[in-house]
Amino acid sequence: MDDGRTVTIHEVAKRAGVAVSSVSRVLSNHPDVSARMRAKVEAAAKELGYSPDPIAQSLRSGSSRLIGYVVRDFMTPFFSEVIEGLERVLSAAGYTLLVMNGGGQPAQEIERIALLKQRRVDGLLLSTVVDSTPRLRKAVLAFDKPVVMVDRDISRADVGRTLFDHVSGVEEAASDLVALGHVRLAMITGAPDVRPTRERLKGFRKGLESSDRAYRDRVEITGAFSASFSRAKTTELLQGPARRRPTALLAGGVQATIGVLEALSDLGLRAGEDISLVVVDDLPWLRILRPKISAVSRDPAAMGRVAGELVLAQIGGATPSTVTLPTRYESRDTSQPLSVVK
């Protein structure tokens, strides 16, 4: 039956010839229901086209079956892949994912967290623009449901974390560049007060300092997760005095990569010929470029799946835990010896 109007639970009870309370028990999967009763109610509901009211179900059960995710910028390809992995795990478990864009603004992210609390989501995931401010810690403390940080850290023991091992991949890349003879190296990446930036810089330093080859200059540029910032800083860096100009460059993140490539194009420079280049995040569109760009890769969809599993586990009563996923460096055409690019 489908005449466009809303079918009520009372009509289902009447069609099945049972009490409304019996219909309610069947539809809420109550264990104390006979197979015969369940079959009668389900048949009546299907015949009438009855769809349970999710708000009413939420009020009765105390569960909204909603998971909130506040993300720095969901237009970034990396986060799109995280969301895909998350949605796959959560939908399979009967949950709906609510994604809210923080717009790269800490205040807006705090507002989004408060809004998700009002929506009574069963769990919260966070990929904020900064990861350990007093306001963020206060907001997380006030959130009385499971919380999982997605490649972010916070000085609290009662939240889950799914992290990338940024250090190992970047360290390997920096070590390779030094082994290729480079003595002036630079890294351009995002905001300094967020975990991926801190860890990438740590890997950059370790890769240089642990190498058998000496290097003279190390330049670290941090500031904003934007292509315009990286483009301006790369241009400034490569137009500086020749004796201080880096011969190898690491771009830490998607927006940094875009900005660096734009700057090289502006200056008429070619990666792998005029400068060695390694990017962090091996995005699909990079693979069609020639020369092939060396990259530190990670699996954002896997991070989404793990984050979904962690928040579901916490909803089920598990203790918050931390899972760290690997990164790996792949040397390609743009990692060239100093003798080639100088």
- Are residue 293 and residue 311 in the same domain, yes or no? no
57 in a structural domain: no
58 in a structural domain: no
- Are residue 239 and residue 254 in the same domain, yes or no? yes
Return d(Cα 294, Cα 278) in angstroms, integer: 5
- Are residue 143 and residue 176 in the same domain, yes or no? no
Encoded tokens for 119: 């929506």
The sheet carrying 160-164 orders its strands as 96-101, 66-71, 123-127, 147-150, 160-164, 322-325
Cβ(245)–Cβ(237) below 8 Å: yes
- Are residue 118 and residue 151 in the same domain, yes or no? yes
137 in a structural domain: yes
Q: What is the mean pLDDT of residues 290-308?
A: 93
Q: What is the mean pLDDT of residues 310-318?
A: 90
Quick check: helix, strand or coil at residue 188?
strand
Residue among 166, 334, 327 nearest 249 (CA): 334
Secondary element (H or E) of residue 14: helix 9-16
What contacts 201, CB < 8 A, 6 or more positions away? 187, 189, 192, 220, 222, 252
59 in a structural domain: no
Residue-level pLDDT at 309: 93
Residue-level pLDDT at 39: 85
Q: What is the mean pLDDT of residues 263-268?
A: 94
- Are residue 35 and residue 80 in the same domain, yes or no? no
- Are residue 113 and residue 237 in the same domain, yes or no? no
- Strands, E assignment, the chain: 66-71, 96-101, 123-127, 147-150, 160-164, 184-188, 217-221, 248-252, 276-280, 294-297, 322-325, 328-330
Cis? peptide before 54, omega within 30° of 0 = no
Q: For residue range 37-79, list pLDDT tens digits in order.
A: 888 888 888 888 776 655 555 545 556 689 999 998 877 778 8
Domain of 41, CATH number, reads: 1.10.260.40
Domain that holds residue 173: 166-298+328-341
Residue-level pLDDT at 215: 63
Return d(Cα 247, Cα 238) in angstroms, integer: 9
Q: What is the mean pLDDT of residues 2-31?
A: 72
- Are residue 260 and residue 240 in the same domain, yes or no? yes
Mean pLDDT of the chain: 85
- Are residue 191 and residue 91 in the same domain, yes or no? no
213 in a structural domain: yes
Encoded tokens for 325: 């996923």
- Are residue 196 and residue 319 in the same domain, yes or no? no
- Are residue 198 and residue 334 in the same domain, yes or no? yes
Domain of 160, CATH number, reads: 3.40.50.2300
Q: What is the mean pLDDT of residues 2-20?
A: 73
Residue-level pLDDT at 305: 94
- Are residue 77 and residue 109 in the same domain, yes or no? yes
- Are residue 85 and residue 182 in the same domain, yes or no? no
Q: What is the mean pLDDT of residues 193-206?
A: 92
Count the domains in the chain: 3
Q: For residue range 244-254, list pLDDT tens digits in order.
A: 789 999 999 88
Encoded tokens for 25: 């028990």
